[in-house]
Amino acid sequence: MVKKKKRNIFFIILLLLMIALGAFAYIKYKSVFIKPAAPERTQSASVFIPSQADFETLKDSIFKYNLISDSILFEKVARYKDLPQNIHGGHYQIAPEITLNQLINKFSSGLQTPVYVTFNNIRKIEEFAGSVGKQLELDSTVIMHLLHSEEILNMLNTSEKKLLGYFIPNTYEFYWNISAKAFFKRMKKEHERFWNSNRRAQARAIGLSPHEVATLASIVQEETNQTSEMDKIAGVYINRLNHGMLLQADPTLKYAIDDWSIRRVLNKHKTIDSPYNTYKYAGLPPGPICMPEPKTIDQVLNFENHNYFYFVASVDSLGFHSFSKTLREHNRKANRYRRYLNQNRIYQ
């Protein structure tokens, strides 16, 4: 009887122990597979993990963004699933409801979230490199080095003077840790996609190459912020080109001088010896003076066909321009604009 009692007690203790272990195991199971890794976190976190990150670097980022609430459990599960040997750098969008198991799987499998890269209002290729470098893992100095390399220039089938007109300003989707060469390959595809057969045919119809259209578009873009008059300004320059006249575009002087703060172009600026001085050298300059927007390129391709050869900033509608067919009419309007500048003490 005593033996039977002892045996019953043993089984009861064993049963209780099994229940306790089962409860403990279930709690841990919930902590890993069901409950959020950080229950107190209510918003998504955008996490950037360097491509060469080790486990310690990954943990630093995880702690920094409060992605987990139990660091000991995370480390045990991460090591059990070989995360330290399978870290993939990149950009990860971490939802607040993500479980510990899902979090570890995300980093070990490289399930990145793409980033959106935007570049516009670019006047120098260095600005382009800097803008891209700030939005991707790429180093801007590496980008600049490649932009001057024969390998990339040959791949893009362009030259350094043409680069500002090669890249199409827009918003693109990339993986944050894309390689520099892969980035340029994508830019080449985007260039070819933009310069489709229809746009190339339009360029041929006006006697210009895509590069020349981009160069002219860059001048038009620097002449006005008003989309509504871009096609008209483009028409003026097309007329001047077709009649062998100097373009006499003030923005090209600002580019040659490398001073965009100039509000008033003076005669001394017109004497600078530069291939970008369109007061001195006929035709288009060697390359774009800024990175033209797609809409500006399309305004050039669809320029307004008219008989205007001149334009000057309007005094009556500030921000817009007044157009003339004859030099006499233009000089009258230009003198009026000069008086306006003098009255407002704008001398340079």
Over residues 88-138, the pLDDT tens digits come to 999 999 999 999 999 999 999 999 999 999 999 999 999 999 999 999 999
Q: Of the candidates 228, 255, 221, which has an alpha carbon nearest to the alpha carbon of residue 125?
A: 255
Domains of the chain, start order: 23-109 (3.30.1490.480), 115-194 (no CATH), 197-343 (no CATH)
Torsion region of 284: left, alpha or beta (phi above 0 gives left; psi -120 to 50 gives alpha): beta
Predicted local confidence at residue 22, as pLDDT? 45
Rounded to the nearest angstrom, the gap between the alpha carbon of residue 88 and the centroid of all alpha carbons in its chain is: 24
d(CA 242, CA 80): 74
> In the numeric block, which tokens belong to residue 270?
């017109």
> In the numeric block, which tokens belong to residue 323?
């157009």
d(CA 171, CA 187): 12
Question: What pTM, to 2 d.p., does this model score?
Answer: 0.89
Give the other-Cβ count within 10 Å of 238's Cβ.
19
Q: Which residue has the tokens 């030259």?
A: 159
Amino acid at residue number 221? Q
* Residues of the chain with confidence (pLDDT) below 70: 1-34
Predicted local confidence at residue 334, as pLDDT? 95
d(CA 255, CA 261): 11
Beta strands in 40-108 (DSSP E): 45-49, 90-94
> In the numeric block, which tokens belong to residue 283?
């035709």
Predicted local confidence at residue 83, as pLDDT? 95
Q: Which residue has the tokens 């096609």?
A: 231
Predicted local confidence at residue 33, as pLDDT? 56
d(CA 53, CA 328): 69
Predicted local confidence at residue 324, as pLDDT? 98
> In the numeric block, which tokens belong to residue 61?
């980022």
Predicted local confidence at residue 30, as pLDDT? 42
Structural contact between residues 119 and 168, judged by C-beta atoms closer than 8 angstroms? no
Q: Please name every residue paired with 324 in a beta bridge, in sequence order, or none if there are none.
A: 310
Structural contact between residues 178 and 302, judged by C-beta atoms closer than 8 angstroms? no
Non-local (6+) Cβ contacts of 176 within 8 A are: 48, 90, 91, 112, 114, 115, 136, 137
- Taken in order 176, 45, 134, 50, the sign of the CA dihedral is negative
